[in-house]
């Protein structure tokens, strides 16, 4: 069974730039959720994708957007980067419709905005 | 809206001592409860979960937690800790039928030899 993978592991960007983070879900899972974890904080829910559509969103501005592909992998895009976007971005996969209450996390992408 | 409070930001204990990490939650509906562990520079690993049934749940690495509905708590316990348990521990809640996890601020468990 393949776990959740994320790429890249680390990324440095400058303010105003755009970034794309990628996630491959665990085999057999159909749902991907994204979380932002600032230093010293718990993860905050950004949004979730199910059947290639957004299936719930947290309190994040529209410059945070995402995609889910037919193979259930996903991208998180952030436009117009701000210094406060520096964080660990975590992807989690689960299975809706199969007792999918449990989310399994990837190793994360650490983003630094200068 | 749901919320999670982890009552201790840091917990130092000696190796082989017992430990309890406290978690209280707030929700107006039925919930699922989770504990995740985060080792330095890593993602989150599921320790254990309460979905339904027995209120005492056992997880990996010798950890267990007890769901107390009347006190809205889900405290994590281990009878004897090891140096390798040094990590950040997060309690999380999700409403039944919703997939969003709401996390606490985390508790840093430090094991001293």
Interface test with B, best of A43, A91, A94 (most B CBs within 10 A): A43
What pLDDT sits at residue A30?
87
d(Cα B41, Cα B59) in Å, to the nearest integer?
22
Contact A102 B106 (CB under 8 A): no
Q: Hey, are the CB atoms on B99 and A35 less than 8 Å from each other?
A: no
Residue A105 forms contact with B (CB below 8 Å): yes
More confident residue, A20 or B42: A20
* Residue B95, pLDDT score: 86
Short-list A77, A33, A88, A79, CA closest to A56: A33
Judging contacts by C-beta atoms under 8 Å, the chain B residues touching residue A48 are 99-100
Contact of A48 with B99, CB cutoff 8 Å: yes
Comparing CA positions, the residue from A60, A61, A67, A55 lying closest to residue A94 is: A55
- What is each CA distance from B56 to B68, B91, B94, in whole angstroms? 9, 15, 18
**d(C-alpha A25, C-alpha A43), whole Å:** 18
Residue with tokens 């980067």: A81
Instruction: Using CB atoms, pick whichever of A55, A90, A101 lies closest to residue B94.
Output: A101
Per-residue model confidence as pLDDT tens digits over B61-90:
999 999 999 999 999 999 999 999 999 999
Give the Cα separation of B48 and A69 in Å (integer).
Answer: 30
Between strands B10-14 and B107-112, the pairing is: parallel
Ranges under pLDDT 70 in chain B: none
Q: Give the minimum alpha-carbon distance from B71 to chain A in angstroms, rounded to a whole number.
A: 22
- Indicate yes or no: CB of A43 within 8 angstroms of CB of B44: yes
């Amino acid at each position: 069974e393949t776990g959740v993978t994320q790429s890249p592991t680390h990324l440095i960007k400058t303010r105003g730039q755009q970034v794309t983070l990628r996630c491959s879900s665990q085999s057999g899972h159909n749902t991907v959720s994204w979380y932002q974890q600032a230093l010293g904080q718990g993860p905050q829910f950004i949004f979730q994708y199910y059947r290639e559509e957004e299936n719930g969103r947290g309190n994040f501005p529209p410059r945070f957007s995402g995609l889910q592909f037919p193979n259930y992998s996903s991208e998180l895009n952030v436009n117009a980067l701000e210094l406060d976007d520096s964080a660990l971005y975590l992807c989690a996969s689960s299975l809706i419709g199969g007792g999918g209450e449990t989310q399994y996390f990837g190793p994360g992408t650490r983003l630094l905005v200068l | 809206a749901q919320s999670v409070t982890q009552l201790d930001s840091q917990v130092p204990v000696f190796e082989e001592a017992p430990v309890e990490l406290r978690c209280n939650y707030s929700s107006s509906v039925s919930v699922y409860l989770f504990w995740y562990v985060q080792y330095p520079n890593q993602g989150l690993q599921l320790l254990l979960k309460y979905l339904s049934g027995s209120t005492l749940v056992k997880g990996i690495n010798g950890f267990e937690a007890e769901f107390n509905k009347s006190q809205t708590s889900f405290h994590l316990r281990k009878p004897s800790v090891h140096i390798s348990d040094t990590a950040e521990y997060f309690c999380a809640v999700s409403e039944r039928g919703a997939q969003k996890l709401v996390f606490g601020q985390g508790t840093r468990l430090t094991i001293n030899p």
